[in-house]
Amino acid sequence: MDFCAPGTFGDDCNSLCHCRNGPCDYVTGECTGGCQQNWTGIACSECVSDHYGPLCEKSCSSRHCDESSAYSSCSRVTGRCDNGCTAGWMEKDCTEICASGTFGDDCTSFCHCLDGPCDYITGECTGECKQNWTGITCSECDSDLYGPLCAKPCSSRHCDESSANSSCSKVTGRCDNGCTAGWLEQDCTTSKIYTKIA
């Protein structure tokens, strides 16, 4: 009769045990000599209460969960933070800082620093901003620009004369009172003639 390889047990030998001394029982998985560090249970196949991960190597206390995510909610498998992360952290278990160029809650805010990344929590840039960007976090368009990349000049719009340039939205460039004749879209930069040809 064939036995399971050391560290495995069960009908198909596809269950894992993590015994401290010697292999587990190849049928029940029982470890008679205790468990390896951070493992518990009869077969030493469960993480202790304050650890998680495939190897039970991650500590629940190392996570950066939102304050409303109770410590007791630490999943022994994923370590998931039920209510998300504190500002500056991401992934299900909130153990990764925001990627370069992002910051804040869920790392969904963008900064455009000229030299190096911004602070992953506040978004503050210690140096200057990239061209066309301004503000502490370099996330606002310069005064005469708008759009998701701050690449559209407000002066390129064809707003109705009653829409002053000063009303140029940093996000959409929207002309508050509509466009002059022959122009379309909220920022009045699409020609009706071009639309007909296309």
**pLDDT score of 43 more than 80:** yes
| Tokens describing residue 176 | 């508050």
Separation in Å, CA 54 to CA 78, 93, 153, 164, 180: 8, 13, 52, 60, 63
Pairing between strand 39-40 and 15-16? unpaired
Predicted pLDDT at 192: 84
Predicted pLDDT at 83: 87
Per-domain boundaries in the chain: 1-48, 60-97, 100-142, 146-197
Separation in Å, CA 73 to CA 32, 43, 57, 58, 62: 30, 23, 17, 15, 14
The string of pLDDT tens digits covering residues 148-172 is: 999 999 999 999 876 555 578 899 9
The string of pLDDT tens digits covering residues 93-124 is: 999 999 999 999 999 999 999 988 999 999 99
**pLDDT score of 23 more than 70:** yes
